[in-house]
Each structure stands twice: as C-alpha cells, then as structure tokens.
Amino acid sequence: MATRKRTHSPVQRSRRFAGVRGKIVERVEIDAEVIGIYFQDKTALTFDVDSISIIYPELSDWRTGNMRSIKKWPAVRSKPSMLSWP
C-alpha cells in the first residue's frame, strides 16, 4: 500500500483535568458513545465519543504483482454526528 500524507493537525496525546484531582472514583461506565467516570461526591467526568471515517479512494494496477498507483482522489470524510460543541 502507498504511504498516505497526513494533512490534518497531530492528535493531542494527553490532557489533564485539574478539576477532578483528589476525587474518589465510585465507578466507571463505558459504551459506544460515552465514557463516564463517576465520583463519590456525585459528580462525573464524561467523554462523548464521536468517530469519523476517512476513505482514501485509489485506482491501482496489480498486473506486475506489485501495486502501482494509477490515480488517487481526494479523501472522503464522514460527517461527525456531533455537529457543534457548546
């Protein structure tokens, strides 16, 4: 496969949430759309999950046994389901 050139900004690897420091975790819940960390003081830190698909269309020639790119089209990106963030 051909190497893809990335044109978007790099992913931020870590982030600290100072407002939850020292809180005692009661439970953690995870599903396909939300990750929730629930604390004993009846507060919660939640993460809404919104996945995006990116498809890279490409026409290739395999006749020689090795893939040779003939034509590439612009990436097709799905729309996020969360249209705006407060």
Determine, yes or no, domain membership for 6: no
- State the DSSP string of 42-81: S-EEEEE-----EE--EEEE-TTSS-EEEEE---EEPPPS
Q: Print pLDDT tens along the chain (86 aa).
A: 555 555 555 666 788 898 999 999 999 999 878 899 999 999 999 998 877 888 999 999 988 888 899 999 999 888 777 666 65
Query: Structural domain tally of the chain?
Result: 1
**What does the alpha-carbon distance between residue 12 and residue 42 come to, in Å, rounded to a whole number?**
29
The reported pTM is 0.54
Phi, psi of 46 (to 5 degrees): -120, 150
Determine, yes or no, domain membership for 38: yes
**What does the alpha-carbon distance between residue 51 and residue 80 come to, in Å, rounded to a whole number?**
7
Determine, yes or no, domain membership for 37: yes
Determine, yes or no, domain membership for 16: no
